[in-house]
């Protein structure tokens, strides 16, 4: 499988299954997508909360609010009715998360026939073409790091995610620094080789990471300091 990032902003996502797995999946995709969950019953937990702390699949360091929505539809589709639900919702992604293997299989087949991405939650290991594995994710606003074992060892993904949480802190601020710094250097017509050196020095600076993580310096101040140092150095005899 090849990892990709997909923008689900305002895209429809159809989840079959209202148990804990279906709830977890709906919370995950409701960060961006408009989620429809079809199930005869729903577990007593939030399906659309933006609070993802403790989720086995994801961690959120930015406390971003849910952008999409979640609609719960109380229905118990038989396998032969699954295709009609997919036609009706016309989703960008189908999630098969019921405890009925026949319904899950029908969801996979119907999604594949319509060329729709599908995530089957009751299978691990090798997946059919067009399948999606939802990775463990560590997020610091605009910076996202995902970990996947191909669905074979979710507990390992969770462990690695927890190990990375502290490392990623401050990464969003650093990304902002680097992006704006590159633009400023281009505008000042700094040669490409020199731009790469300056940006590399910033991202490898432990003191800059510490300043951004502790809040003792914001991205604007970091950029100003770098530019001051660069042009002061240029002016030296």
Q: pLDDT, tens digit, for every residue of 124-181?
A: 655 666 678 888 888 888 898 888 887 778 889 888 988 888 888 889 999 999 999 9
CA-to-CA separations, 149 to 57, 146, 159, 235, in angstroms, rounded = 12, 10, 12, 52
Q: pLDDT, tens digit, for every residue of 8-59?
A: 999 999 999 999 999 999 999 998 999 999 999 999 778 875 444 333 454 4
Distance CA 117, CA 207 (A): 43
Q: pLDDT, tens digit, for every residue of 66-123?
A: 556 899 999 998 999 999 999 999 999 999 999 999 999 999 999 999 999 999 988 7
CA angle 142, 147, 149 (to 5 degrees): 160
Architecture of domain 12-166: 3-Layer(aba) Sandwich (3.40)
117: helix, strand or coil: strand
Confidence of residue 215 (pLDDT cuts 50, 70, 90): confident
CA-to-CA separations, 167 to 170, 182, 198, 219, in angstroms, rounded = 8, 23, 22, 18
pTM of the shown model: 0.74
Indicate left, alpha or beta for 150 from its phi (over 0: left) and psi (-120 to 50: alpha): left
Give the domain ranges of the chain.
12-166, 171-234
């Amino acid at each position: 499988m090849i990892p990709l990032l997909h923008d689900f902003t305002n895209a429809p996502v159809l989840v079959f299954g209202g148990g804990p797995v279906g709830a977890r999946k709906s919370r995950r995709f409701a960060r961006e997508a408009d989620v429809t969950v079809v199930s005869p019953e729903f577990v007593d937990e939030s399906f659309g909360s933006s609070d993802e702390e403790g989720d086995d699949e994801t961690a959120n360091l930015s406390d971003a609010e849910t952008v999409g929505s979640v609609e719960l539809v109380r229905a118990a589709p038989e396998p032969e009715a699954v295709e009609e639900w997919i036609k009706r919702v016309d989703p960008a992604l189908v999630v098969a998360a019921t405890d009925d293997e026949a319904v899950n299989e029908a969801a996979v087949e119907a999604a594949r026939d319509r060329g729709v991405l599908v995530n089957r939650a009751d299978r691990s290991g090798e997946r059919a073409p067009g399948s999606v594995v939802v990775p463990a994710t560590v997020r610091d606003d605009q910076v996202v790091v995902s970990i996947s074992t191909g669905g074979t060892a979710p507990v390992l993904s969770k462990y690695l995610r927890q190990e990375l949480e502290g490392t990623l802190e401050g990464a969003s601020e650093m990304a902002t620094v680097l992006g704006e710094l590159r633009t400023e250097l281009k505008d000042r017509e700094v040669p490409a080789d020199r731009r790469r050196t300056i940006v590399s020095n910033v991202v490898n600076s432990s003191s800059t990471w510490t300043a951004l993580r502790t809040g003792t310096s914001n991205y604007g101040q970091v950029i100003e300091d770098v530019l001051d140092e660069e042009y002061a150095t240029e002016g030296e005899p």
